[in-house]
Amino acid sequence: MGVTKKILVTGANKGIGLAVCEALLESYSETFVFLGCRDRNLGNRAIEAIIQRNPRAEHHIALVEIDVTNESSVQMAADEINKHDASGEPNLYGIVNNAGIARSDKGPQDIIEVNTKGPKRVIDCLFSILQPKNGRVVNVTSASGPNFLSRCDKFICKILTNENVSWDEINKLCSDFLEKYDNATTSVKAQLVDEVYGFSKACTNALTMNQAKLYPNLIINACTPGFIETDMTRPMALRNGRTPAEMGMKQTHDGVHSILFLLMEHRVGSGFYFGSDCLRSPLDCYRAPGEPEYTGP
Ligand SMILES: NC(=O)c1ccc[n+]([C@@H]2O[C@H](COP(=O)([O-])OP(=O)(O)OC[C@H]3O[C@@H](n4cnc5c(N)ncnc54)[C@H](OP(=O)(O)O)[C@@H]3O)[C@@H](O)[C@H]2O)c1
């Protein structure tokens, strides 16, 4: 079968992003994957590993350098993807905004830049090359988003669960969070460092609603991959003196289900947040896999 679905996965040189690329190429013969990475060497190594495990992938994958915090890098990635299409038509079927960080030596600003402003930058730059009628975007967020909203200030929760939320409102909350951090005492700073990951993912769930409204012809959703053993989560097990399995972490191939579902299934709706079991979840409280699907607005 020829290529009909070209898909960019950001942060795909390892972890869940890499597993998504592999699963797409394994299960959907019509896909062509742009493996997004910041470091070409790491990206090339990941591609070699994919081809070694699945030789059929060789003509269905290409590396795209993309740092989601850097506007010109994202723009260059868009140009690179566009060059792949001789027709010059907008021909990117899907974007998986997977790149993410949970901790940073540079502080909370970096986490917001990657996790929230990154997906915004990617869509803004790549919108013009997305298929205008059925293009899809999956923002990989986290259950930390609803967990954060279930505990936070009611004012913040109200904004981030409002289906008509604007980017200006989300951006203002990000600035407020960082201003609060800058002016905080050491102990409050430590608390905000713990909270910023959940905050950034709650903002990205809100961004997903906002983008779905802005681009009604596209299918744009967010999901959590589940609790997955990767370089991001392994330190958590170490800190707790337990193995990743004892902590309940699953393997990377277990973290792809909701992402693939939102890329490929019909009638998934748009502007929603899904659990790792491919069912909708609320934005402001945790729904465990297997619990009934959320059916609210
Ligand atoms: N693992 C979990 O249990 C879990 C749970 C909920 C949500 N998530 C979400 O799932 C996504 C993938 O996480 P993971 O667990 O697979 O983590 P991971 O193994 O640490 O992979 C993160 C990926 O993001 C890339 N990245 C970081 N900063 C970037 C930037 N500025 N521009 C482009 N790429 C960047 C990393 O590239 P480098 O190698 O160059 O650093 C890496 O490829 C994240 O959005 C995360 O928040 C994970």
pLDDT tens digit sequence for 41-94: 999 999 999 999 999 999 999 999 999 999 999 999 999 999 887 776 779 999
CA triple 178-181-187, angle to 5 deg: 160
Ligand 1 pocket residue status of 11, Cβ below 6 Å: yes
- Ordered by where they begin, the domains of the chain are 5-274 (3.40.50.720)
Spatial strand order of the sheet with 61-65 comes to: 61-65, 31-37, 5-9, 94-97, 136-140, 219-223, 273-274
CA dihedral 41, 45, 48, 54 (to 10 degrees): -140
Query: pLDDT above 70 covers what percent of the chain?
Result: 99
Distance of CA 90 to the CA centre of its chain: 22
* φ/ψ of residue 61, rounded to 5: -145, 145
Q: How many helical (H) and strand (E) elements, i.e. helices and strands, does the chain have?
A: 11, 7
CA distance 127 to 31: 19
Q: Span 133-146, mean pLDDT?
A: 97
pLDDT band of 167, cuts 50, 70, 90 = very high
Residue owning tokens 């050491």: 186
Mutate which of 37, 38, 144, 286 for ligand 1? The one with the most ligand atoms within 8 Å of its CB, which is 38
- 223 in Cβ contact with 273 (< 8 Å): yes
Instruction: Look at residues 295, 296, 2, 294 and name the one whose alpha carbon lies nearest to residue 143.
Output: 294
Answering whether pTM is above 0.85, one says yes
Mutate which of 126, 230, 231, 260 for ligand 1? The one with the most ligand atoms within 8 Å of its CB, which is 230
Q: Span 262-273, mean pLDDT?
A: 96
- 50 in Cβ contact with 61 (< 8 Å): yes
pLDDT band of 273, cuts 50, 70, 90 = very high
| Burial of 1 per CB tally in 10 Å (0-12, 13-18, 19+) | exposed
Distance of CA 271 to the CA centre of its chain: 14
**Identity (one letter) of the amino acid at 110?**
D
Ligand 1 pocket residue status of 14, Cβ below 6 Å: yes
Tally the C-alpha atoms within 13 A of residue 172's C-alpha that lie toward its C-beta. Answer: 9
**What sign has the CA pseudo-torsion 49, 53, 55, 56?**
negative
CA distance 147 to 143: 6
Ligand 1 pocket residue status of 205, Cβ below 6 Å: no
* φ/ψ of residue 56, rounded to 5: -65, -15
Instruction: Look at residues 158, 78, 151 and name the one whose alpha carbon lies nearest to residue 121.
Output: 78
pLDDT band of 238, cuts 50, 70, 90 = very high
Q: What is the mean pLDDT of the chain?
A: 96
Instruction: Look at residues 139, 135, 142, 140 and name the one whose alpha carbon lies nearest to residue 7.
Output: 135
Ligand 1 pocket residue status of 18, Cβ below 6 Å: no
Confidence at residue 1, expressed as pLDDT on a 0 to 100 scale: 56
- 53 in Cβ contact with 24 (< 8 Å): no
How far apart are the CA of 47 and the centre of ligand 1, in A? 17
